[in-house]
Amino acid sequence: MRLWILLFGTVLVAACGKPTLIDRETDIPAGGWAYGDTLRWDFEVADTNAIYDLLLTIEHGTDFRYQNCYVQFHTLFPQGEVLTEQVSLELQTRVGQWLGDCGSSDCELTIPIQQNAFFNQPGKYAILMEQYMRQDSLPGIESFNLRIEDTGKRRS
Q: Is 63 among the domain residues?
A: yes
- The number of C-alpha atoms within 13 Å of 4 and in the hemisphere containing its C-beta is 1
Q: Is 10 among the domain residues?
A: no
- Look up the domain containing 44 and give its range: 19-154
- Does residue 118 carry a pLDDT above 80? yes
Which residues, listed in sequence order, are joined to residue 108 by a DSSP beta bridge?
59, 101
Would you say the pTM of this structure is higher than 0.95?
no
Q: Is 88 among the domain residues?
A: yes
Count of the separate structural domains present in the chain: 1
Least confident segment among 9-18, 51-60, 113-122 = 9-18
Q: Is 48 among the domain residues?
A: yes
- For 79-88, the pLDDT digits (tens) are 999 999 999 9
**CATH number of the domain to which 89 belongs:** 2.60.120
Q: How far is CA 131 from CA 38, 88, 122, in A?
A: 8, 10, 28
- For 22-71, the pLDDT digits (tens) are 999 999 999 999 999 999 999 999 999 999 999 999 999 999 999 999 99
